[in-house]
A = this chain, B = another copy of it.
Amino acid sequence: MSPPLLRSRWVEFPEGVEELPANSLAPGFAAAGVCAGIKRSGKEDVGLLLCRSPQPASAAFFTANAAAAAPVMVSRKRCALERLRAVVVNSGCANAATGQPGVADAEAMQAKGAAVLGLAVEEVAVCSTGTIGDRLPLPKVLAGIEEAARSLGGDAATFQRAIETTDAFPKQVAVACQLEGRQVVVTAQCKGAGMISPRFATMLCFLETDAAIEPALFSELVGRAVERSFGRISVDGQLSTNDTVVAIASGASGVVVAAGSPAAERFSSLLDAVLLQLALLVVKDGEGSKRIGRVVVEAESGGEAEAVARAVANSPLVKAALYGGDPNWGRILQAAGQALAGSGERPISVAIEGVEVCRAGEAVAVPQPGLEEAVSGEEVEYLVRVGEGNGGYAELYFSDLSHTYVTINAEYRT
């Protein structure tokens, strides 16, 4: 399967998956996005997502940032996260660093969403994205929610636009897959291009499916897929104040995904692929990004592998070399050595696109032209091995560091 934006060799969809039109919504869902006047551009900025099933399963994951935004606090504290039926969302203002008044605003958004949809408050999650430090224009937002409720339909196009901020392109996936001989649909909408523009806050992802699945299993499978996708990317190493993933399963297909079944395994692979694809689109949208890197680390322990992978993926030197198409393995070695600082001298090996360039701390003679060609593509893979490398594993996907990144982040004003 190769939709236009996902030709990555790193995303493996299960056999037989069929692509649907990008704006599709899984059966049992309705959505809308409206122009409420929050964004100066006048584009859609309030969105509503509704699951029409009275007994859906849901799963939600939030940023670990200790300066979490008000909507994250409210969704965490006032929602039944395994029984969500709707999401109310705005872009253009993150409602972050707004203190108790911001919390009251987020609660008002949630209450309005529940009222217009006829739901209980705890069934409605609330999300915001946009500038940090500004209060929401609440009357506009509430009017927008009312208008969105009147506009609900079976298409995700306006909803997708209502969650975007500085995104250079929409990030959507819509696929169908056979489970137990019947069709199950998974659709998802995502926004984010790193914690990028001044005072803009990051990543939101909404996933809908018509599978019938228990909340505990759904949460486990979505959680694992989030960890393998959004948990494994770095645009600039920045964790935002507003990151949220909400997934809802309507059950409308009647196909039951039971724990331990082959269907669960296949469904899990499908969730993994959908979220990894969206995560890679976020990396690809990393402000002027030319290339995506993937670093795979084999080390003496899981913690060590994780530290080395993060050091490599977040090194501005490694990222600038990736941008320049420079097979600069000295920087990989340096970043890995930094992550291992204090543990004595360690034998570190590095391979780029399968070619070993450094073995146990010593350079390997490799013809430069071949290496330069290997790092000139859209995706570059690095392998780092510490010692024997058989005690721990980690991988991360990361964007490069471009002139455009600096321009956007230094010169842009909100």
Interface residues of A (CB under 8 A from B): 63-68, 73, 96-102, 131-134, 195-196, 198-199, 201, 236-241, 314-317, 320-321, 323-324, 326, 328-331, 333-346, 348, 358, 360-363, 401-403, 405-407, 409-411, 413
Contacts and interface: CB of A to CB of B under 8 A. Distances in A.
B358 A320 contact: no
Nearest to A200: B330
Contacts of A331: 195, 198-199
Contacts of A403: 403, 406-407
Contacts of A406: 320, 323, 401-403, 405-406
List the number of copies, as a whole number: 2
A334 B406 CA distance: 18
A100 B345 CA distance: 13
Contacts of A100: 362
A363 B330 contact: no
A361 B362 CA distance: 49
Contacts of A63: 341
B66 A344 contact: yes
Contact of A97 (B101, B236, B335, B358): B358
Given A132-B330, A361-B99, A362-B97, A66 B236 contact: no
Nearest to A335: B238
Q: Which 10 A-B pairs have the closest CB atoms?
A: A67-B337, A99-B362, A324-B410, A132-B330, A320-B409, A66-B340, A199-B330, A64-B341, A133-B363, A239-B338
Contact of A239 (B101, B329, B341, B358): B341
Contact of A326 (B237, B317, B413): B413
A238 B64 CA distance: 25
Contacts of A344: 66
A337 B330 CA distance: 32
B333 A132 contact: yes
A157 to B, nearest CB: 30
Nearest to A342: B64
Given A99-B363, A238-B338, A240-B334, 8 more contacts: A63-B341, A65-B338, A67-B333, A132-B333, A134-B363, A320-B410, A324-B410, A326-B410
Most buried by B among A96, A317, A411, A413: A317
